Amino acid sequence: MNTEPLLLATPSGDALKLRPEGSWTAANVTTLETLSRSVGAEVDRSRVVTLDMSGIRALDTLGAWVLEKLSRRAASSGRSAEFVGVADHFSGLMDEVRQVNRHTPASAAVPNPVLLRLGDLGKATVGAREDITIFLQMLGALFMAVIGVLRRPRTLRLTSLVYQLYRIGWQAIPIVVLITFLIGAIIAQQGFFHFRRFGAESYTVDMVGILVLRELGVLIVAIMVAGRSGSAYTAELGSMKMREEIDALSTMGLDPVDVLILPRVAALVIALPILAFIGSIAALYGGGLVAQFYGDMGPAIYIARLHEAISVTHFEVGILKAPFMALVIGIVACSEGLRVKGSAESLGRQTTTSVVKSIFLVIVLDGLFAIFFASIGM
Amino acid sequence: MSEQQEEFAIRVRDLVVGFGRQTVLDHLSLDVRRGEILGLVGASGGGKSVLMRTIIGLIPRRSGTIEVMGQPIGGRTQGAATAWGILFQQGALFSSLTVRQNVQFPLRENLVLSQELMDEIAIAKLEMVGLRAQDADKYPAELSGGMTKRVALARALALDPPILFLDEPTSGLDPIAAGDFDALIRTLQRTLGLTVFMVTHDLASLTTVCDRVAALADGKIVAIGPMRELLQSEHPWVRAYFHGKRSQMLQHEMR
């Protein structure tokens, strides 16, 4: 079926006779390109080019286009080219190919790379302002939704709230416990290892206690929740946006903020302090185990030292931050979800943006809280 | 090349396909002649798409044989892009690629050719399905339903496959666009000598473009032939399908 394509060129004075033979099909495209290039110079020299098509065994769009391109090249600048001996069953295809590629659109000018970078920088700057606007809009919309619920408590989507709590709170407990446990254990091990040189091993417990309760417990849990639940929120809302479910909600007279976003953000605000508490306890437990097996400090001494080292203030400082971090994660995740456009790529991009942005904001918020608590002496 | 291979593009024999306990296709046999447009009708959920997806190898079969262009089809479909083109119901365009890149994708993956020729072929295909060169740099999300179908058709035809599978090509199009699309399929089928296997509910498509129509009911092909013959069929499901209220107008046209 598939025979090797050939292109026989017979020049006679000003005229050139081209006789393609064999299968001019996509399967032989590499040969076809070589063949058409090899006669290019001869075609340019000749005034009259005749393409004798009678030798062609098989032809498809690609082969037809290669021949048509040769004939257009031959027919340029007042010269002439014609096809002869086109078999009946190929004539439809040849006629079709003669119509195409007549209007090549002007290719866009390649912009200066430096200007392109500057343009991107400018767009990013303007984009940052837009990000802040969207964040504040979402915060405002949530606030209004909360007021609406406070005025008419029956409008709270309780089922949805409980389901979200189950998903992002209850189901997250095992992984949160595991990771914070390991972090607590690692900090304690590092403390014992390095403080041992100064004979200050007992201060390891102070370090673990203060660090975990004030900073790490809540921070690690917030980062995990941003990755685990924030990304899920963005992807869910994004695909609902893509499939016009959110538009459907709006047309039924329901506010997507009430129905979808408030239960999700509220669940985060409730769940994150609980998870942070559980995580802190797991970290302290991990530290205690290391103290016993690595630092030769029994549980009783560990607990006694912990009791001396930490106060309720440390715990309060940590746990007070959790709801604010949850609010930031929830707002970023939901607003990024609503910014998803039609394509699958856009969904992936917004999910990445959501996680990166919420982790960044959580850390910035933690820094601001550190300054705040230091200045009020907590 | 034997005579038989020349005659039939697709031969399905005793095909059984099921999921779990449910049997969807029950010893189904079907021949698609080379160069014809075959329309397949059947109840929603009755196995039309299952039959198409089994032929192209997306669904495993329990028993039976499928030959495409005389070649038996195995479980997996390696190098299938040159054997057939498929137009999925929703277009299934790659959303991260532009229209041009979508059409070039089968070319790029299967052939070695210069970027210049690839661009020209892509534009040629787009113009053949009635789009303009300016549309080539759009993304699938920016296209209307009709344009998406046309781009998907251009991609399906990128390698000039001998067989084209269409899954409800006119669903979701307005009657004018659907009529244009039917005409386009007819033109391309004549120009490129395609065999077309079309799953459709569109009675107008069945009447105007299909050479033969096969009716799928109870997991079997219960009637096959030109539209006129199917209208005479005595099978209860076929009667219900073509003699329902919605079909009256079209039958009127046929007489």
Check the CA dihedral B128-B133-B139-B142 and report its sign: negative
Domain A6-99 is found in CATH 3.30.750.24: yes
Q: Where in chain B is the domain with CATH 3.40.50.300?
A: 1-83+161-226
Q: Where in chain A is the domain with CATH 3.30.750.24?
A: 6-99
Contact A204, A291 (CB under 8 A): yes
Would you write out chain B's pLDDT as a tens digit for each of its 255 residues? 344 445 788 888 888 888 888 888 888 888 888 888 888 888 877 788 888 888 877 788 888 888 777 777 765 555 555 678 888 888 788 877 888 888 888 888 777 778 888 888 888 888 888 888 888 888 887 888 788 888 888 888 888 888 888 888 888 778 887 888 888 888 878 777 788 888 888 887 888 888 888 888 888 888 888 888 888 888 888 888 877 776 666 555 555
Higher pLDDT, B118 or A141: A141
Higher pLDDT, B248 or A253: A253
Contact A25, A63 (CB under 8 A): yes
What's the rounded Cα separation, in Å, for the pair A241 and A3? 53
At A312-361, the pLDDT tens digits run 999 999 999 999 999 999 999 999 999 998 777 889 999 999 999 999 99
HEC sequence for B185-215: HHHHHHHHCCEEEEECCCHHHHHHCCCEEEE
Contact A191, A284 (CB under 8 A): no
pTM above 0.95, yes or no: no
Are A100 and B123 within 8 A, CB to CB?
A: yes
Crossing angle for the helix pair A158-168 and A262-293, nearest 10 degrees? 30
> Of A4-18, A129-143, A274-288, A339-353, which gets the smallest average pLDDT?
A4-18
Contact A316, A372 (CB under 8 A): no
**pLDDT grade for A34, boundaries at 50, 70 and 90:** confident
Cross-strand pairs, B31:
B11
The CATH number assigned to the domain with range B1-83+161-226 reads: 3.40.50.300
What's the rounded Cα separation, in Å, for the pair A360 and B122? 44
| Percent of all residues in chain A with a pLDDT value above 90, rounded to a whole number | 54
Q: What pLDDT is stored for residue B4 in this prediction?
A: 44
Q: Tell me whether strands B163-167 and B22-33 are parallel, antiparallel or unpaired.
A: unpaired
What's the rounded Cα separation, in Å, for the pair A258 and B217? 47
Q: Who contacts A245 (Cβ-Cβ below 8 Å, separation ≥6)?
A: none
- A104 touches B at CB < 8 Å: yes
CA distances from B104 to A120, A339, B110, B133 (A): 29, 30, 10, 14
Of B132, B141, B160, the CB nearest to A343: B141
| Chain B interface mutation, best of A1, A36, A73, A100, highest count of B Cβ atoms under 10 Å | A100
What's the rounded Cα separation, in Å, for the pair A152 and A170? 28
Of B1, B125, B134, the CB nearest to A61: B125
CA distance B82 to chain A (A): 9
Are B193 and A89 within 8 A, CB to CB?
A: yes
Q: What is the complex's ipTM, to 2 decimals?
A: 0.72
